């Protein structure tokens, strides 16, 4: 059975914060919220430009994670021709990057990629 006044004594804070302590707490909270907001705004968006004209850039599944596949000019045509010989997720990803870059591969280049 609770004693008279026991609830009030147990739930009463030992002391109140001074105005200075309260201001420091409010200031610290505001600085933290502003820092988090600035961090979110600075890191939002995509600042990495796409590949240049005639270049192909794709990230495909590799053995230990994402593997970048990059090439420009003849190297890009070679990458696209090699991927045209296969039908798997990796080749489809490279093929999509080739289509976005506007790289057209002829059947002769595909045959040369198979031999080479």
**What is the per-residue pLDDT across 52-104, written as a single tens digit (0 to 9) for each?**
788 898 899 888 888 988 999 889 888 888 888 888 888 899 989 988 888 88
29 CB burial (10 A radius; 0-12, 13-18, 19+): exposed
Domain ranges of the chain: 6-43, 55-115
pTM: 0.55
Read off the DSSP letter of residue 101.
H
Distance of CA 44 to the CA centre of its chain: 10
- Taking residues 12-25, report their average pLDDT: 91
pLDDT range class, residue 8, cuts 50, 70, 90: confident
Mean pLDDT of the chain: 86
């Amino acid at each position: 059975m609770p004693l008279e006044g026991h609830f009030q004594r147990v739930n009463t804070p030992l002391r109140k914060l001074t105005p200075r302590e309260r201001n420091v707490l409010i200031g610290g909270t505001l600085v933290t919220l502003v820092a988090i907001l600035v961090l979110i705004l600075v890191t939002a968006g995509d600042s990495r430009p796409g590949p240049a004209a005639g270049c192909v850039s794709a990230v495909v599944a590799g053995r230990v994670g994402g593997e970048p596949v990059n090439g420009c000019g003849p190297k890009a045509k070679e990458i696209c021709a090699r991927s045209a010989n296969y039908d798997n997720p990796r080749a489809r990803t490279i093929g999509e990057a080739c289509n976005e870059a506007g790289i057209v591969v002829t059947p002769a280049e595909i045959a040369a990629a198979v031999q080479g």
